[in-house]
Structure 1
Amino acid sequence: MASSITHRLSGGLIGSSGETASEEEAAKYRLLVTAGPAYDQKTHQIVRVNTNRVTTIENEFLTAKISVRVKDYRGLPASSPSSSPYFEDPIHKHDLYSVAFSFVPKRDLPSVDTVWGNDFDHPIRDRIPPGFNTAFRIVKEFIDPGLSCDAYADEPWLYGPSLSCWFGLRIGDVYEPGQDFPAPDENNVLTEGADGSGQEKREALGLPANNEKRRKHFLSQTHREAFVFEKGRCYQGDFYNPYIDFGNFLLKLPGFSLKVIKYVEGKTHCLRYVFKNRATNEVYFNVNFFLVWGEQLERALAEDKEQEGVQGGDLASVLLPPGQTTNRSLQNSGVAVKPQAQRTTSHPSPGLDDVE
């Protein structure tokens, strides 16, 4: 991580006493990552982890390109590399995963109410492990002071202001509608800064050049009110950390680690990340990390083998109820699909609970 504090914290985790998942436990699950323009899983596509094949999504608010890296990746598609050159960069030698993205808004999007984080459409209070409140205090004090959380609500959430959550932020040039724009690059780490006319924007807003100072800058609501994601302008972001070890099913925090598989045993589960407007509940894009288990895993493995080497497959459909398919599958079959309508109430989608 960029800050000296984070380096000390992540370095201190190496000797933690947390128990990792056994090979037998790990073999029961595979990680599967999807991304879409809404919570509705039918709108999602598979993310090709640790590759340069970005996932492009679009809705009424923006067009986005998404790339996910996971260290020691054991998941689907089976052809995905187990790691990425990203983790060989000195900046990221302690990090365990990254959600990188670029997007171009179709309209001006005020940043003041935009958030990044995790949420769920069902209670998880009965599944919260002991020590959660202590863990959250550690996270808020040492990692991200902008975070807020209500884990005991009927629809739990953990959010922070997007501009203070993202560890990397780059402001780019303006692009015409339909014009191609930069995508996250597997071989080049995103650095804080700007491209083209984006440099003038950063200077006009008085944004610090250092990413940690920029994150602190946007803890201020006044500063967030002054920032608008401008229609047509490209923004690039990267969210990464050394705290979720998807390869070993561990949550690692300063001083201890938690064996996640102990709390998810025997079901398919999902952790979803979302970029949204909290005031209106308008979703800009959503990335889901599934731990696929049981019958769904058998279907996913069979589907993955069948699709090997085939472009435009629909592996994501195994996460839907029987008889349903993704919009991407319908498009591949020649059926016209209307753009996903956004809802102002929470849309049912898999969360950290069962995906039957």
Structure 2
Amino acid sequence: MDLLDTVEDYHSRAASILPSNAYEYISGAAGRSQTLQLNRTSYDRIRIRPRELVNVERRQLSSTLLGMNFDMPVGISPTALHRLAHADGELATARAAEKMRIPYVLSMFVSTSIEQVAQAAPAGIKWMQLYLYKDRRISEAVVRRAEQAGFKAVVLTIDNPVNEDKIIESGDLNFAADFNASTTWTDVEWLISITTLPIIVKGVMTKEDALRAVKIGVNAIIVSNHGGRQLDSVSATIEVLPDIVAAVQGKVPIIIDGGVTKGTDIFKALAMGANMVFIGRAPLWGLTVNGQAGVEEILRLLQRELDNTMALAGCRTVEEITKDQVLHEAQYCLTSLVTFGQK
């Protein structure tokens, strides 16, 4: 059997294992998949500017966010129905995140319960995804269960007033959501008022929404386009990240997800101002291939790649990864043209 050395290797292996409907659901995207592709290819247009002759013998990948300490600046985004990938489902994913000491966001559309996940990974740092329903009592009940189960934050997904995601129908795995197309920022203010848990809004893609979120008192922002699963033709998350970072000015932490498959991607996102990077599909490929151990393998792979990138770029800590260590390819082209024109 071939060695699995990259996230894409796990993706390919998972594609050969999963039933076609499960694979299509996990890998699917909206429209013609333009945004899905942009999420990936936009990272390839960013160049790393390494600094040499820096003593990088000792490196530290640890990260802190909202007063929580993690072994690396990586977390697992909310993704639905992990039992499509493996019989242990979300329990395996939560245990892997606990072992690797990173945050795991449990989707509302789970194939096991909030309480079972809490019992499976009691020492893990778990955050709860939330949608705001027309009947607020449903959303509040989820928050209360998460509080009781020891979850540490609520991640409010705001980018799907109507659901364009593909619904899988296979045996017991039927779900549909009563998404609330009338949700506004007033509803987010209501959510903030009913819990002491940090509120993180996921789905921010503009500086205007980022500033609105900060103004009403959210605790963190996730720059996300739902993995390209909702509105096609929106920008890649890494494309809009600098604009949002500049607008927020450090008032709240900024997390990014979408298209991350390599340690160099993580480095680039951190250099462009993200405080943390989340991954969604990659853990599911690992889960498919080898259960909990497969998720851990994916996380260790990215950890090794990030560590190696930091060493070669001249960074000893996450805090030393700064914006002057990356440059978009367009800037190189512009510089070359200007220089050539001066000759």
Q: Which has the higher strand share?
A: 1
Q: Which has the higher helix share?
A: 2
Question: Structure 2 length normalisation: TM-score?
Answer: 0.29
